[in-house]
Structure 1
Amino acid sequence: MGLKEFKISFNNPWKTFKPGDTVKGQLSLVLDTPKKCRGIRVKIKGEARTSWPVYLNNPQHRYTGHEEYMSIRHYFAGSYSGGEVELFPGEYVYPFEFNLPQDIPSSFESDLGHVRYTIKGIIDRPWKFNHETKVAFSVVSPFDLNSDPRASGPVMVEESKTFGCFCTSPPITVNFSLPARGYVSGQSIPIHVYVENVQGIEVQFVRLALEKHITYRVTSPRSETRTKRIIITEVSKVIEDSDIVIYEQSMRVPPLPPSNLNNCGIIDIQYILRLKAFVNGSYNSNLKIAALVIIGTIPLVTSPLTSPSTPSFGPPDYAAAVISSIVAPSYEESLFGAQNLKDEDESEYVMGIKEPFAPRYPVYNFPSN
């Protein structure tokens, strides 16, 4: 059989790093028969790619975008221009160590684009197909919510609409408010919802949804952008028959990449909290309101009290949520990942590329209320 085992492992069990970190691990292989090769090496790559099909006559064409953040090649044995290296049966372990650049974006995976960091181990055989194994690791670029002045401020959005034939009819008013705009994965967003319906129109239910809006940019053969909206989590509540309905709703933030995807020029991420009030018989006239939410990787030290200027129909005072004593986060896989790690120029026989990969992001264990 020859090559019994060929794998890459990391000293960090989470396989998650931040820009500037030193990444340590090892390439290991086990042989049960002698093998000759030109060399054994690793290829370390960090890049962003965007791509979607464009049908122009035939065949199918694609628009693409690309940014490279790092590219490292290192030989453990042999060299590209050297002679033949003979490996005898047994186990071989080759430690590696490299530093990540400082200004690189967080890992991100989706169907139209990704930011991906990989290591490929290669047994270089110039007269045959190479033996190759590949793994991905996560990079999380810190986003400290305390450094963004928008994150700590309270949020309140409102919309009113009149239903029926007479414009003089009282409108339905809907609003929601948040004590702060910035949150981290693992934290619950406290949402205060207010519905005023003195007109008596039937409001069936109210739905709250946290959405991820991703903007992709391609640069070849021309520059174009495309935006995709994904619902991360949502919750609905049936509205009772009353002139005024006030209730509290919490929404936990799952493992997510930070807002903005800083240092990436071809992918951008925003998070939107959207409320939709479903009015019976008036599907096209449902009330919709939305607000920007900022997702970071380092939580606010305190969550501010509600602004004294909040209208009387707004939320009550929230207790200050002191989170300075929160322990270090765990790192959990995103709900969204790559189906595989195969690049267009890679063989189907590269070990590891058929394994699905989901980046890991920091998740904080907040105390329950």
Structure 2
Amino acid sequence: MSLTVKNISVVYNPINQNNTFTSGDSISGQVILDVAKDTQMQSLSVKIKGKAEVCWSERHGKTTVVYSDKEKYYSVERFFVREDKTHGNDHEMLKDPSGQPYSAVVAPGRHVYPFAFQLPQQHFPPTFKGSVGKVVYSLETKLSRSMRISSKAKAEFHYVPSPVVSNPELMVPQHGTKDKQMKLFTSGSVSMNIKTEKMGYYLGEGLKVLTEVQNNSSRAIKPKYRLYEKHSFFANGKRKLNTRDVLKEEGEPIEPNSKKTVTKVLPIPPNFTISILNCRILKVEYRLVVYLDVPYAFDPEIKFPVVILPLQSLSGANSAPNSDFGIWNQPAGGNVYPNPPPMPPSAPPLNAVGQPGQFGAPGYYGPPLNQFPAPGYPGPPGQFGPSFSHQSDSSAPPSYQEYQLHPQLPDHPEKA
């Protein structure tokens, strides 16, 4: 920061207690500029953008290979001041409350430039930070002056997709059976019949599992439940996989030569990372494993996909009736409106990057805040701890459309 520009920052106004934004919300804020003397600006802008990116390195003999990729969702920039307008248009310029252009020369002191963007109605992957990948939504401001290095500032905000579920397969019950003949130290056989109410669960819900066990073996067995999380990152034809157990429960022992039905409800805490299945370069998935703990024998198990959905209360406070991506002005000098005025008819449409519908998320939605299930797990929120296993292979992930239509597709090879 130069001696002339004492400070530049961009701030936004929360619209709910969770400090999250979702599709259709208006996000308002201010660019704040403090200067020590009269300052001539070439341009002053504010930008809103969303993107996902992954990056990691691997050693192959004596060679280190870096794998990286990016996926851009949108990037829209507006100017308070812009001297060179040959490559711009009227939609990119913001005006003061009187409808006049902002002055390119500012006097010493603090200057406040209010703004607001309206988020599109499309469903993008939510804010996420993992070991080698992230999804980030941010507001950025940039001040350019002649013969000076540009001054910049950035503020990230949390985006969470709407909890509306349009894929009926998420609400269909799941069912699996398993029979096993015991050998060696345990004789007889065991069988289990597992049912779950559905595949998709909102944060805070209970995952109900109905387990019917026929124990015809010579030993008591115990049903156990494990929910694990899969983070997959894709770049340059390679895949990096991180897995982690996030829930473990067990039921009462089932005595030899008996049959028992056990109902278990696994809590889905509100701070779980929600599923991400609509991003090309990273995924967050869950699997429920129900298995029988058989002494001195290989444990029979059944695995189900689980989709964690956003909290139903995370709907936007200022939802919009269309998919425009607009901006509106507020009086300079301070207080921003608690609720933005209606969008002007001339609000330009969002220039989203990618194929039509690629980020539409017609049923599956991904993780909100970069938080992980809590106490007892190493590492800060959103980071993998040393308990993760790491794998990498070249297999390509199933497409978003394939997963949507065929949620029971086989997993990628894994050790979890």
TM-score range normalised by the length of the shorter chain = 0.5 to 0.7
2: distance between equivalents of 1:269 and 1:194?
30
Among 293, 313, 319, the residue aligned to 1:278: 293
Instruction: Sort the Cα spacing of 1:86 and 1:59 in 2 relative to 1 into closer, same or farther, 3 A.
Output: farther
Report the equivalent of 1:88: 107
Among 251, 255, 262, the residue aligned to 2:266: 251
Give the SS at the match of 2:293. strand
Report the equivalent of 1:52: 56
TM-score by length of 2: 0.61
1: distance between equivalents of 2:241 and 2:34?
46
2: distance between equivalents of 1:298 and 1:191?
21
Give the SS at the match of 1:150. helix
Instruction: Sort the Cα spacing of 1:35 and 1:60 in 2 relative to 1 into closer, same or farther, 3 A.
Output: farther
Report the equivalent of 2:246: 232
| Offset of residue 144 of structure 1 | 3.0
Return the letter of the residue paired with 1:239: P
Report the equivalent of 2:74: 70
Report the equivalent of 2:167: 148
* Deviations, residues 262-298 of structure 1 (Å, cap 9, x unaligned): 3x2222343221123222233xx12221112233348
* Deviations, residues 308-329 of structure 1 (Å, cap 9, x unaligned): xxxxxxxxxxxxxxxxxxxxxx
| Offset of residue 185 of structure 1 | 0.9
Instruction: Sort the Cα spacing of 1:22 and 1:112 in 2 relative to 1 into closer, same or farther, 3 A.
Output: same
Among 37, 44, 64, the residue aligned to 1:40: 44
Report the equivalent of 2:318: none
Q: Which has the higher contact order (CA 8 A, sep 6+)?
A: 2
2: distance between equivalents of 1:12 and 1:298?
16
Report the equivalent of 1:135: 155
| Offset of residue 110 of structure 1 | 1.5
* Deviations, residues 13-70 of structure 1 (Å, cap 9, x unaligned): 4442333443322222445x33635443223221111222122466633111211111
Unaligned runs of 5+ in 2: 87-102, 313-366, 373-380, 384-416
The 8 Å contact of residues 175 and 289 in structure 1, kept in 2 or not, is answered as no
Give the total of aligned pairs: 297
Instruction: Sort the Cα spacing of 1:62 and 1:101 in 2 relative to 1 into closer, same or farther, 3 A.
Output: farther
Residue 12 of structure 1 pairs with residue 24 of structure 2: no
2: distance between equivalents of 1:61 and 1:125?
39
Among 133, 136, 139, the residue aligned to 1:116: 136
Return the letter of the residue paired with 2:225: L
Instruction: Sort the Cα spacing of 1:79 and 1:69 in 2 relative to 1 into closer, same or farther, 3 A.
Output: farther
Report the equivalent of 2:29: 25
2: distance between equivalents of 1:279 and 1:165?
12
| Offset of residue 253 of structure 1 | 1.7
Report the equivalent of 2:334: none
2: distance between equivalents of 1:59 and 1:96?
48
* Deviations, residues 219-244 of structure 1 (Å, cap 9, x unaligned): 3xxx2233333333222345254533
2: distance between equivalents of 1:57 and 1:152?
48
Give the SS at the match of 2:169. coil
TM-score by length of 1: 0.68
Unaligned runs of 5+ in 1: 300-330, 340-369
The 8 Å contact of residues 144 and 298 in structure 1, kept in 2 or not, is answered as no
Instruction: Sort the Cα spacing of 1:9 and 1:257 in 2 relative to 1 into closer, same or farther, 3 A.
Output: same
Return the letter of the residue paired with 2:212: Y
Return the letter of the residue paired with 1:98: F
Instruction: Sort the Cα spacing of 1:176 and 1:60 in 2 relative to 1 into closer, same or farther, 3 A.
Output: same
Report the equivalent of 1:356: none
The 8 Å contact of residues 162 and 170 in structure 1, kept in 2 or not, is answered as yes
Give the SS at the match of 1:244. strand
The 8 Å contact of residues 206 and 275 in structure 1, kept in 2 or not, is answered as yes
| Offset of residue 186 of structure 1 | 1.2
CA RMSD of aligned residues (A): 3.4
The 8 Å contact of residues 220 and 254 in structure 2, kept in 1 or not, is answered as no
